[in-house]
Structure 1
Amino acid sequence: MRPELESQLSNCRNLPSPPGVALRIIELAQDPEVVMATAADAIGLDAALSARMLRIANSPLYASRRRVENLSQALTVLGLNATLTLALGFSLTRCGTGTHPVAQERVWRRSVIAALACRLLGQHAGLRKAEELMLAGLLQDIGVLALLEVLGDDYAQLVERADDNAALLAAERDLLGCDHAAVGGWLARQWNLPALLREAIMESETPVSDTTFNACVAVSGHVADIWIAGTDEARTEEAHRHAALQAATRLGLDYAAFLALIEDMLAALPEVCTMFDVPPAPPARIQALLDQARELLVVRNLREIQEAARARKEADEHEDRARRLAEEVRRDPLTGAYNRSQLEEVLEKEFDAATRHGWPLSIAFIDLDDFKQVNDRWGHLVGDEVLRNFAKSLMRHVRSSDIVARYGGEEFLVVLPGINEEAAAHVVRRILSEVAGAAMAHVNGQPLHITFSAGLATQGALEQFRHVDDLLRAADEALYGAKREGRNRVSVGVVSP
């Protein structure tokens, strides 16, 4: 604030000053030893103030189970802190000379609306300082009253010409190099108001510390501007949009919560304005705006639900594609069986688990008999068809927990966790019987049958292999044994000495 303006304020004889009862309340509020009886005595000296305290105790803000009939009951309902804070607010609304009634009425109307908004914003933010918030909201524009007294008609015309609070602030800063919030903070110091209130008034237009308390005060002014905009539809909608943005930015209030706040304002404002003898702006336009905003919120929520559903669907599709791609990497592209790389990873895990827990693990090396003749006689396309159909048949005849992998060429490996040697041999022989009886391809309308040879090895209670490679080697040697013995059979391998 410029020194010359501060000098004008200091030397102004008509500067707003608290009435005697307000000065006494300020004094009591700063006394940690004050008792309710002392507060009641001070308030009781002012009949109008007593009536207002009685009215607020019976208001929806302090819903009591029974009607409050006297000042003593009212103060008991409100409590000491609320009593002093609210009484101070009521007292200070009567300060000033009243020489510029149009401008002053505008200031107090905005202040009263902001007081209620500040209280409700504090509730949404979880602050337990309802009365302090209400008083801070009420006093945030007190600097305008001081400037009206110091600068007179010129400033009064500036207030009356300003379309909104933002325009008033811009004009003040251009003319004075500061705004009414800075002047209000200065005035609060002169009145010896508590630091919490002084800082909130000072930062009501340009928050610096951005505490939740100060943010509530700052946002409350923007909420009040919705009512101050009057019947101008464009200005009301812009004030509504700006207040919602400020509430979201400074207090994290989402749009649904903001609309709920406006509804609470509409319900409580008539009573609060009556308490402070201030006529509120007609609510019709605001109610219409609220109805429209709720319709837009429904549309927005529906759109968000649709977008969320679409996003979930896309995420599911992406996850499914990723899963398929990962599965494709693990599978042999021709047969659909696991590839050798995946086989080695799974087999090593199964071998370690079987060795550690002592349960059996059987594997079967399978090699298609005379497969080279199929390729030489009928071609590789027929050979590929045989491999595909054989792999499908193999996977169809084992459990879902078993593993079928293409080891290379026409060789396959079947991993049978938890199956001992005897049971594994029975399974593989049954598969051999099923495969031999089914056509793996058709050539010139004739079925093409094949057989296979299998070598079986088991990690079990009687036979313990030191390493998974030893288990594979035993199954491989058993396979060659089956080949030597004439093919189309299952041979069992043993642990090498």
Structure 2
Amino acid sequence: MPDTLQDVLLPPDLEKQLASNTNLPSLPVIAVKIIEASKDPDVTLREVASIISADPAISAKLLKIANSPLYSQRRAINNLREALTLLGFNAALTIALSFSLFHSLKVKGHSKCNHDNYWKRSILSAQIARLLGQRFRLSKLEDLFLVGLLQDIGILALENLTPPPYFNYDKMCIKHTERISLERSTLKLEHSCVGAWLLESWNFPPTIVNAVLHSHSLSNHIQVQDKTDSQFHLCLSFSGTLADMWLEENPNELFQSTLEAAGLALNIDADEFSQLVSDINKEMLVISALFDVNFDDEIKQGGILEEAREVTLLRSIHFIKQTEHDQRQIENIAEQVKEITKENQLDYLTKVYNRKHFERLLEEEYENANVNRWPLSIAFIDIDNFKEINDTHGHLVGDKIIVAIADFFSDNIRQTDILARYGGDEFILMLPGSTSHIAEEALRRLIKLLSTSMQINVDDEILTPTVSVGLASHMDINTFDDVESFIRAADKALYKAKAAGRNCLAVY
């Protein structure tokens, strides 16, 4: 197998056929724009959002995948901007490209063979490659998905030639391994070479082109730059082998050989393989909904899963013999740990996040803003004249007002915003993806709403709490070197608001 596409020499007649064939798949306009954007290191949020929002169907798919179990988050994603923030530039572009290519090529496809089976294998391979990438903790999971989806696109190219160059019409519906054997014997190459040629003609990045070129080889001799590249290649190369277990008529017959191959190629044992099969079954429902492809053959899936469970049973008999009482103890302990973890994240009085957990979340969002060049705003919120309220009415009334302020902001901020009690009568609010202008408008509205709507009855006296707010924004009108200076800026703005007479907002 050649190391790069430059080393590939397609037979002259075949290359001529491919280059002149008008029936070959073509890229939709949005796919061309996405490929161009993915190559631009200076691409902006506005540009990415503009490209993707031009196709409402892809925008909807991107929102759907951002809210799917594949990207389970602590908050719902409600718009394209939030989805782009969560996924990141490169991942969002790659996912959008996957949806665009799938929809365009599937609709235009007119292969003589089982077209549905082709796309089932492509989607399964893509999701399996991504799952394997998660196991190796690889960062480019969406690249794995895209290459998994495109690794057999050479088949579409070859089958759209008239006549097909390597076998007759009555032999079109054959197994994948048999197809490759025929290609090697008649064309002296595989459809992965043709697929790489096609992707290069579409101006795909060289990394994607070369990944497709080597997608059908488990050889360890392929030149890679580092261990991560090697693992990326293994995940991709093995994805189709695993996908075939769901598509063959007798999947259980493939189980043992695939298990052995997984042990050699991926260094996973029977228990891990069983878990992998289970994960694939679970995610099949998610991915079928995202791509509108029917994977309803529950008998095959069940047979494979039962085989996997049998192996797990034999390998893990000491766990299965565990008594019901012990199992309940484990579940109780796990539930206690979960509750303790949750309690450690929340403020005991207000039940919003505490300062320690907020600072951990802020570090993550700050890094995300730096990597993706997204705006990020934070605001200190201080209850006006709180010491006077405590001295006059007592600490119980003070606590009641602190809780009321926490409830007010929790009820009136976006699901993507994060509120925490910073200490005493002071709160801090994080607004991911919000520019200074957007955050300022929202906070001024909340200050006004609070001052006109909140009334607390204390011994027949009506208290109307107000707040002062200090706002700072990162990757917008200011850029801060670290989280500490970002927080100090918001704190300075808060003191400015207090000096201006309270019940108002100041911007750093």
TM-score, length-scaled by structure 1: 0.57
Partner Cα distance (1:71, 1:202) in 2: 33
CA contact (8 A) 1:182 1:202 kept: yes
Aligned pairs (5 A) from 1:34-45: 34-45=43-54
Structure 2 counterpart of 1:262: 277
CA contact (8 A) 1:103 1:159 kept: no
CA contact (8 A) 1:219 1:243 kept: no
CA contact (8 A) 2:58 2:99 kept: yes
Structure 1 counterpart of 2:30: 21
Structure 1 counterpart of 2:199: 188
Is structure 2 residue 240 aligned with structure 1 residue 228? no
Partner Cα distance (2:170, 2:146) in 1: 26
Partner Cα distance (2:288, 2:12) in 1: 37
Structure 2 counterpart of 1:70: 79
Partner Cα distance (1:292, 1:156) in 2: 37
- Kindly provide the amino acid, as one letter, of the partner of residue 65 in structure 1: R
Distance of aligned partners of 1:152 and 1:22 in 2 relative to their CA distance in 1, 3 Å threshold: farther
Partner Cα distance (2:55, 2:163) in 1: 30
Distance of aligned partners of 1:238 and 1:192 in 2 relative to their CA distance in 1, 3 Å threshold: farther
Aligned pairs (5 A) from 1:44-443: 44-96=53-105, 97-100=108-111, 102-151=113-162, 157=169, 160-162=172-174, 164-208=175-219, 209=222, 211-229=230-248, 232=249, 235-280=250-295, 282-301=297-316
Structure with larger Rg = 1
| 1:161 match: secondary structure | coil
1:68 to partner: Cα distance: 2.1
CA contact (8 A) 1:222 1:239 kept: no
Partner Cα distance (1:170, 1:280) in 2: 28
| 2:160 match: secondary structure | helix
Q: Which moved more, 1:212-221 or 1:174-183?
A: 174-183
| 1:117 match: secondary structure | helix
| 1:150 match: secondary structure | coil
Aligned identity (percent) is: 37
1:13 to partner: Cα distance: 1.2
- Tell me the alpha carbon deviations over residues 227-268 of structure 1, each in whole angstroms, 9 at most, x when there is no partner: 111xx3xx3023333332332222212221111111111111
Partner Cα distance (2:232, 2:211) in 1: 7
1:207 to partner: Cα distance: 4.1
- Kindly provide the amino acid, as one letter, of the partner of residue 2 in structure 1: P
Q: Count matched residues.
A: 298
Counterpart pick for 2:20 among 11, 19, 32 = 11
- Kindly provide the amino acid, as one letter, of the partner of residue 125 in structure 1: F
Partner Cα distance (2:113, 2:142) in 1: 28
Distance of aligned partners of 1:239 and 1:292 in 2 relative to their CA distance in 1, 3 Å threshold: closer
1:300 to partner: Cα distance: 4.1
Distance of aligned partners of 1:79 and 1:156 in 2 relative to their CA distance in 1, 3 Å threshold: farther
CA contact (8 A) 2:130 2:145 kept: yes
| 1:287 match: secondary structure | helix
1:280 to partner: Cα distance: 1.9
Structure number with higher relative contact order (C-alpha < 8 Å, ≥ 6 residues apart): 2
| 2:78 match: secondary structure | coil
Distance of aligned partners of 1:66 and 1:101 in 2 relative to their CA distance in 1, 3 Å threshold: farther
- Tell me the alpha carbon deviations over residues 333-365 of structure 1, each in whole angstroms, 9 at most, x when there is no partner: xxxxxxxxxxxxxxxxxxxxxxxxxxxxxxxxx
Distance of aligned partners of 1:101 and 1:4 in 2 relative to their CA distance in 1, 3 Å threshold: closer
1:281 to partner: Cα distance: 5.1
- Kindly provide the amino acid, as one letter, of the partner of residue 160 in structure 2: E
Unaligned runs of 5+ in 2: 1-9, 225-229, 319-508
- Kindly provide the amino acid, as one letter, of the partner of residue 175 in structure 1: T
CA contact (8 A) 1:104 1:145 kept: no
Structure 2 counterpart of 1:483: none
Partner Cα distance (1:89, 1:298) in 2: 38
CA contact (8 A) 1:103 1:156 kept: no
- Kindly provide the amino acid, as one letter, of the partner of residue 75 in structure 1: L
1:216 to partner: Cα distance: 0.6
CA contact (8 A) 1:52 1:275 kept: yes
- Tell me the alpha carbon deviations over residues 417-466 of structure 1, each in whole angstroms, 9 at most, x when there is no partner: xxxxxxxxxxxxxxxxxxxxxxxxxxxxxxxxxxxxxxxxxxxxxxxxxx
- Kindly provide the amino acid, as one letter, of the partner of residue 221 in structure 1: G
Name the Cα RMSD after superposition. Answer: 2.2
Distance of aligned partners of 1:207 and 1:198 in 2 relative to their CA distance in 1, 3 Å threshold: farther
Unaligned runs of 5+ in 1: 304-497
| 1:261 match: secondary structure | helix
Partner Cα distance (1:81, 1:159) in 2: 40
- Kindly provide the amino acid, as one letter, of the partner of residue 70 in structure 2: L
Distance of aligned partners of 1:246 and 1:157 in 2 relative to their CA distance in 1, 3 Å threshold: farther
TM-score, length-scaled by structure 2: 0.55
- Kindly provide the amino acid, as one letter, of the partner of residue 151 in structure 2: Q
Distance of aligned partners of 1:249 and 1:265 in 2 relative to their CA distance in 1, 3 Å threshold: same
| 2:25 match: secondary structure | coil
Partner Cα distance (2:210, 2:65) in 1: 26
- Tell me the alpha carbon deviations over residues 129-181 of structure 1, each in whole angstroms, 9 at most, x when there is no partner: 1111111111111111111212457868467431x211121122233222211
- Tell me the alpha carbon deviations over residues 25-45 of structure 1, each in whole angstroms, 9 at most, x when there is no partner: 000000000122211100111
Partner Cα distance (2:295, 2:207) in 1: 28
Partner Cα distance (1:260, 1:91) in 2: 31
Partner Cα distance (1:158, 1:196) in 2: 36
1:102 to partner: Cα distance: 5.0
Partner Cα distance (2:46, 2:184) in 1: 46
